[in-house]
């Protein structure tokens, strides 16, 4: 073999060794550094935890409801009220004529300010004089939106006070407020019992 040919063979062998040395066997200092940097980046990513959502404040005070009734120009009753129940709580308002037990119903949601409105209640001809029962009910928690259940509990267990009672059907607590009003000859409203 000639000297030139021997140098070529040695050059090819050295080139092959260099190429093999650049493989991913981990013996190469540069390759190891890259792996260590990637491991460090993965460790950092594992340490970072996502921010926890703020805890929802549960209701921890006695439920309060107040109502105000007025007659519109057609002599139908309009009910407005305020409460400390959470915004978005679904309510059902019922007006019942005491002498005939005729009832009118309407639904309302509690606003951000804690108010609600419902009506008109009564026939198209207007309400006759007499005593009327106003009832504001908060149906059980299982029919309330999820955001309300977070505040009052899945079964209304965070609700308390004189207006709170166990639901008849065993679905937890519900709220019931009652008041009576008297419609007289002067077409004015006089409250009999505000509880």
Can you give the three-state secondary structure of 107-154, one letter per residue? EEECCCCCEEEEEEECCCCCCCCEEEEEEEEECCHHHCCHHHHHHHCC
Better-predicted residue by pLDDT, 87 or 18: 87
Specify the pTM. 0.67
Least confident of 10-19, 51-60, 74-83, 151-160: 10-19
Better-predicted residue by pLDDT, 190 or 184: 184
Q: What is the pLDDT of residue 168?
A: 79
159 and 173 in contact (C-beta within 8 Å)?
yes
Q: What is the mean pLDDT of the chain?
A: 81
- Sequence ranges of the domains in the chain: 3-47, 65-193
Q: Which CATH class is domain 65-193?
A: mainly beta
Q: Indicate the pLDDT class of residue 194, thresholds 50, 70 and 90.
A: very low
């Amino acid at each position: 073999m000639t000297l030139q040919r021997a140098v070529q063979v040695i050059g090819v062998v050295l080139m092959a060794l260099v190429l093999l040395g650049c493989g991913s066997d981990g013996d190469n200092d540069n390759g190891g550094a890259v792996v260590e940097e990637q491991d460090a980046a993965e460790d950092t990513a594992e340490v970072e935890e996502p921010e926890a959502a703020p805890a929802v404040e549960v209701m921890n005070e006695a439920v309060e409801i107040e109502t105000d009734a007025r007659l519109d120009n057609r002599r139908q009753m309009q009910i407005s009220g305020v409460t400390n129940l959470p915004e978005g709580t679904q309510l059902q308002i019922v007006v019942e004529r005491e002498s005939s037990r005729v009832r009118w119903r309407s639904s309302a949601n509690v606003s951000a300010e804690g108010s609600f409105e419902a009506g008109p209640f009564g026939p198209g001809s207007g309400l006759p004089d007499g005593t009327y029962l106003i009832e504001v009910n908060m149906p059980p928690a299982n029919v309330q939106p999820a955001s309300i259940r977070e505040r009052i509990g899945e079964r209304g267990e965070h609700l308390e006070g004189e207006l709170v009672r166990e639901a008849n059907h065993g679905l937890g607590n519900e709220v019931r407020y009652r008041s009576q009003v008297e419609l007289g000859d002067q077409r004015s409203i006089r409250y009999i019992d505000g509880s």
